[in-house]
Amino acid sequence: MDHLPLFLRVQDRRAVVIGGGAVAARKAQLLLACGARVALIAPTLGAAARELVERGRVQHTGAPFAPEQLLDAVVAIAATDSTALNQAVARAAHERSVPVNVVDDAEHSSFILPAIIDRSPVVVAIGTQGCAPVLARNLREQIEAALPARLGALARFAGRQRARVRALLRPDLRRSFWERFFAGPAATRLLAGDEAAAEQAFGQALERARSVTSPRGEVYLIGAGPGDPDLITVRALQLLQQADVVLYDKLVGEEILERSRRDARRIFVGKEAGGCRTAQERINQLLIEHAGRGLRVARLKGGDPFVFGRGGEEMAELVRAGIPVTVVPGITAGLAAAAAAGIPLTQRTLAQSVTFATGHFASDDALNWDALARPRQTVVFYMGVAQLEHIAARLRAAGAPAERPAAIIERASLPGQRVMRATLGTLCRRARSEGVSAPALLIVGEVAAADAAQALEHVLTGLPGAA
């Protein structure tokens, strides 16, 4: 971020707007809506600005701008049609440490004005750091349409109840109480306009919360998807926002971590290939320890927790410890990589089944190589780059032909994604020459051929129902 989002209190404080046109009038009206005492500096006034002056809404100075007019100002806005004058206002404001906004000139502004959704006291501000104000307005329209009209009433109701909750509930119970309230029947009734029913439901919920002797911890096993933050599920985001502690793996990027609660404790528990068993045991211990203290713990894994993510082991340990577990599936890397490369994992005439296999073998016979080498199927190897030569050799030894298509997708769904197509006979040489490295995923099967789509189209023309 180039700008720190802030909500500045301007009520009963002096704000200066330089300019007398329609834009200046709009800025003055915005400041008036926030309770500011607005001084309008302009030798000439347009219709909208003149109306504000005539109604006594603003204090008007008809003299040209002078730096001393910024005395005691909490903010200044330059909104004239003169670039030189606007820049002079900015210089004077900077010299006096007065925050200044120059309309349509982010370079000379010390702050920018966002697109605003007003459900007071709930206020949503949307900014693009001056790059695309029309985009900010479009986003405002989309978000505003999704927000309840009585959202402000809900916030005011909660504000009136805060002292009551503080007096009756221990600090470790308050956050979870408020989260249940905003998702519960009291909030629903208030948004519907029935404040009496909301008050009754709130009191009942508060009495139930008082009877809790200790907070109840829980664990969320969350699949973070292949890496692209836009591919994480809505449910995963909801639980990340609730979690007090986040245990995350190596493949979980910073952009996804940033979507967790800002005050949540983050603990890195990533393991490299071949990590010893005690590393997983330590993760299990951390999950149990934090949940046992009544905390909500998010176990954030790349891909899907139940696809080569050891989520089953962690869930079993938590169940044995009597800790509630919620599993949130994620888009596993095999699906994401195939989609990113335009490779259909199953397709009529080419592949009737798909198998997910790990490239990290507990033993050389951990996989049924004869089955994996059969034609008319797709095999997806996770974490297979380090064992690439071994995988290719075992498939060839089990009967897979050298010309069987294969593809390696490196950094699937992430910036720098790369797709390398080859055959089992040329795969290892190509990977070495092109410097393929983890994270990468290997797909073997006819669907991985560069001309698979064309071949499929040719075959489908002979099928019943084809055009």
User: Which residues are designated catalytic?
Assistant: 249, 271
Q: Which residue has the tokens 């994620």?
A: 330
Report d(CA 442, CA 430) in Å as an integer: 13
Count CB-CB contacts under 10 A for residue 277.
Answer: 7
Residue 5's nearest CA partner among 142, 152, 115 is: 115
Question: Three-state SS for 353?
Answer: coil
Buried b (16+ CB within 10 A) or exposed e, 245-254: bbbbbebbbe
Query: Cβ(290)–Cβ(297) under 8 Å?
Result: yes
Residue labelled with tokens 């479009």: 138
Structure tokens at 314: 């962690």
Question: Quick count: other Cβ atoms within 10 Å of Cβ 154?
Answer: 20
Placement of tokens 């836009």 in the chain: 230
The DSSP output letter for 231 is: G
CA distance 250 to 194: 49
Cβ atoms of 383 and 351 within 8 Å: the answer is no
What is the full DSSP assignment across 180-222? Answer: HHHTSHHHHHHHTT-HHHHHHHHHHHHHHHHT-SSPPPEEEEE
Q: Residue 20's closest CA among 66, 105, 80, 78?
A: 80
Identify each DSSP E strand in 302-345 by its residue range. 325-328
Pairing state of beta strands 378-382 and 440-444?
Answer: antiparallel
> Is 294 in contact with 244 (CB distance < 8 Å)?
no
Q: What separation, in Å, do the N-terminal and C-terminal C-alpha atoms of the chain show?
A: 53
Sign of CA dihedral 454, 456, 461, 467: negative
CA distance 395 to 372: 7
DSSP 375: S
Strand, helix or coil for residue 295: coil
Q: Which two tokens stand for residue 83?
A: 């670039």
**Residue 305 near residue 298, CB atoms below 8 Å:** no
CB 428 within 8 A of CB 387: no
